[in-house]
């Protein structure tokens, strides 16, 4: 029984093309708006700010400069670092699998699960697994994947995709969580009180214990891959990722090729900016560096270790004008500070990665035909770039997408005609000046004594909720000429 909204995307059915309608619906969703308001007030923005100010003045910017340098170096030497990483994983007794496409990654993972005679597969939170639609695929092939991150678990029960890359269920009210727990945990006492977050957490903890213990395979993501030692790492707060990777006999880590860093020192620098940018913690509760399977003398830990490395277009992006997007360490700061994301949430973007970085990545992954709406879903205000821990020039990358989609003929007729008209006028200074001075005089007269205009044709969406302040009656050029007389 699915209770999700009919228009929600899945990994293979994006709804980016519907951004306008999605956004409209999100703006009218009162519950979503309440949850969104928490991001700024007491949530991620404030916490990031506080974390940065627990460091000495200027230190965070020095860390960001270094973080940018590390990722730039890693990408500029990507093949040799990946080779080194693979050698070291193999030397530690693990196996690296290369997956060119989402489908390749799914097949590789299914094969490993089948070889292990797996039934129950526990999962730590992994955005790459969302990118490849892993859960659906495992289910279709007779496995029972169980999300163990609290937010992901709630979403799995609701059959919904995440709406944020680090806080996947932030769009839900606690009453909605209670609702879905009551529907799915049918064998528990119907009279129990689970109205509070702590009670909901406790219930999930109890229910998931059994799955942690009985799982045949554990799948986690990896936030970084360290070439020096063949080590991968995950950052978590709940501890579910560690139970997932230490209890079952087989551990699969699913990651993507751009997550590589050269050394443990480099990983440490990136960790100093990652949690501060994401949740506003100095460091997450658990940072786990894992290398290969259990050693012969170890008393626990997986007997088999597989690392699946996904490309899915990234190696092509490397040589493109969008290569800087590959620096992304998935902290979510850009979406937490984006006025558009803050108004419509993550689902409106219509695919796995929302917000500014999503609007850059999604067209590269699902194609510009589907996703040409996303680069337009930005005011290019630049807050995303200002907070990015690896200084990705997100507004510039969005602008490049706009140029590409315009050239490919994706813009509507109004935009095309408008731009052509504007460029015709703008390249003829006398004409431009004549029109501009007519316009400011006309607007001044129309607005009269009020000093504002309440409706302007073509920008009704803007003037519906705001008044257009009226111009003073003279253009800058007029004033300039007057002054120089």
Partner 1 sequence: MSLNKNMRSTIFKNISAALDAQGSKAAREQHASARINARVRGPIPNRGQKTGAALVDEFISEVIRVNGEIINLKSVAEIPAAVMTAAGQNAPHIRIAPHPILNAANWPAGPAEINSGPADPDDDVGVSIAEMGVGETGTLVLLSGPGSPVTINFLPDVHIVVLFSEDIVPTYEDAWDRIRKDNSGVSVMPRTVNWITGPSRTADIEQSILLGAHGPRRLVILLIDGKKTHTPD
Strand partners, 260: 225
Which residues within the stretch 34-53 sit at the binding site for partner 1 (CB under 8 A)?
35, 38-39, 42-44
Residue 149 contacts partner 1 per CB under 8 A: yes
Residue 192 contacts partner 1 per CB under 8 A: no
Which residue from 26, 208, 224, 335 is in contact with partner 1, where contact means CB under 8 A?
208
Show the tokens assigned to 362: 């999604």
Residue 319 contacts partner 1 per CB under 8 A: yes
Specify the residue, 205 or 402, whose C-beta has the smaller distance to partner 1: 205
Task: With contacts defined by CB under 8 A, name the span among 129-137, 292-300, 350-358, 381-389 that binds partner 1.
Answer: 292-300
Closest by CA position to 338, among listed 385, 304, 292 = 385
Q: How far is the CB of 23 from partner 1 (least distance, A)?
A: 22
Residue 229 contacts partner 1 per CB under 8 A: yes
Cβ neighbours of 400 (radius 10 Å): 16
Q: How far is the CB of 222 from partner 1 (least distance, A)?
A: 13
Residue 207 contacts partner 1 per CB under 8 A: no
Residue 170 contacts partner 1 per CB under 8 A: yes
Strands 468-469 and 452-453: antiparallel
Q: How far is the CB of 10 from partner 1 (least distance, A)?
A: 21
Which residues within the stretch 11-30 sit at the binding site for partner 1 (CB under 8 A)?
none
Residue 290 contacts partner 1 per CB under 8 A: yes
Q: Distances from the Cα of 104 to the Cαs of 134, 282, 305, 317, in angstroms?
A: 11, 37, 18, 19
Residue 138 contacts partner 1 per CB under 8 A: no
| Number of residues binding to partner 1, judged by CB under 8 A | 101
Q: How far is the CB of 287 from partner 1 (least distance, A)?
A: 4
Cβ neighbours of 377 (radius 10 Å): 24
Cα angle for residues 393, 380, 277 (degrees, 5° grid): 55
Q: Where are the alpha helices (DSSP H) in 116-149?
A: 127-131, 134-140
Residue 242 contacts partner 1 per CB under 8 A: yes
DSSP H/E element including 217: strand 217-220
Q: Distances from the Cα of 292 to the Cαs of 44, 117, 221, 302, 467, in angstroms?
A: 34, 21, 15, 9, 62
Which residue from 21, 80, 459, 479 is in contact with partner 1, where contact means CB under 8 A?
80
Closest by CA position to 342, among listed 60, 131, 25, 37 = 37
Which residue from 1, 28, 297, 414 is in contact with partner 1, where contact means CB under 8 A?
297
CB-CB contact of 99 with 129 (8 Å): no
Residue 194 contacts partner 1 per CB under 8 A: no
**Greatest pairwise CA separation for the chain in angstroms:** 91
Which residues within the stretch 266-285 sit at the binding site for partner 1 (CB under 8 A)?
266, 268-269, 271-272, 279, 282-285
Residue 198 contacts partner 1 per CB under 8 A: yes
Q: How far is the CB of 119 from partner 1 (least distance, A)?
A: 19
Residue 106 contacts partner 1 per CB under 8 A: no
Which residue from 10, 90, 246, 463 is in contact with partner 1, where contact means CB under 8 A?
246
Residues with Cβ within 8 Å of residue 313, at least 6 apart in sequence = 364, 365
Residue 240 contacts partner 1 per CB under 8 A: yes
CB-CB contact of 135 with 160 (8 Å): no
């Amino acid at each position: 029984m699915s209770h999700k909204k009919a228009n929600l995307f899945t990994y293979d059915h994006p709804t980016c093309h519907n951004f306008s309608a999605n956004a409209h619906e999100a703006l009218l969703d009162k519950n979503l708006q309440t949850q969104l308001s928490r991001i700024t007030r007491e949530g991620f923005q404030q916490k990031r700010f506080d974390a940065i100010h627990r460091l000495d003045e200027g230190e965070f910017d020095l860390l960001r400069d270094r973080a940018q340098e590390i990722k730039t170096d890693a990408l500029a030497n990507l093949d040799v670092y990946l080779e080194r990483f693979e050698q070291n994983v193999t030397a530690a007794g693990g196996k690296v699998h290369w997956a060119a496409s989402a489908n390749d990654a799914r097949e590789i993972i299914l094969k490993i699960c089948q070889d292990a005679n797996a039934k129950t597969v526990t999962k730590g939170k992994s955005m790459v697994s969302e990118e490849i639609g892993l859960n659906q695929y495992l289910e279709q092939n007779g496995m029972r994947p169980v999300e163990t991150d609290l937010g992901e678990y709630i979403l799995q029960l609701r059959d919904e995709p995440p709406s944020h890359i680090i806080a996947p269920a932030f769009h839900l009210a606690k009453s909605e969580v209670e609702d879905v727990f009551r529907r799915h945990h049918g064998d528990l006492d119907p009279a129990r009180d689970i109205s509070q977050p702590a009670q909901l957490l406790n219930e999930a903890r109890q229910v998931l214990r059994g799955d942690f213990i009985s799982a045949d395979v554990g799948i986690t993501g990896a936030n970084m891959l360290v070439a020096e030692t063949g080590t991968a790492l995950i950052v978590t707060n709940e501890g579910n990722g560690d139970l997932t990777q230490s209890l079952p006999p087989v551990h699969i880590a699913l990651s993507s090729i751009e997550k590589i860093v050269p050394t443990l020192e480099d990983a440490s620098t990136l960790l100093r900016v990652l949690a501060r940018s994401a949740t506003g913690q100095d460091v997450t509760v658990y940072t786990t560096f894992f290398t290969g399977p259990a050693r012969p003398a170890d008393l626990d830990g997986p007997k088999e270790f597989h690392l699946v490395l996904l490309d899915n277009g990234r190696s092509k992006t490397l040589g493109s004008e969008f290569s800087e997007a590959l620096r992304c360490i998935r902290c979510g700061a850009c979406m937490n500070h984006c006025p558009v994301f803050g108004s419509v949430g993550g689902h409106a973007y219509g695919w796995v990665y929302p917000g500014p970085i999503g609007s850059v990545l999604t067209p590269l992954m699902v194609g510009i035909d589907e996703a040409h709406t996303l680069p337009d879903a930005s005011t290019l205000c630049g807050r995303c770039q200002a907070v990015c821990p690896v200084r990705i020039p997100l507004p510039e990358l969005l602008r490049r997408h706009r140029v590409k989609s315009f050239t490919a003929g994706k813009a509507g007729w109004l935009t095309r005609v408008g731009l052509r008209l504007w460029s015709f006028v703008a390249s003829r200074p006398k004409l431009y000046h004549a029109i501009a001075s007519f316009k400011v005089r006309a607007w001044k007269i129309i607005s009269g004594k009020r000093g504002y205009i309440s409706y302007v044709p073509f920008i009704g969406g803007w003037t519906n909720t705001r008044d257009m302040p009226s111009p003073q009656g003279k253009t800058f050029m007029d004033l300039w000429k007057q002054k120089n007389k």
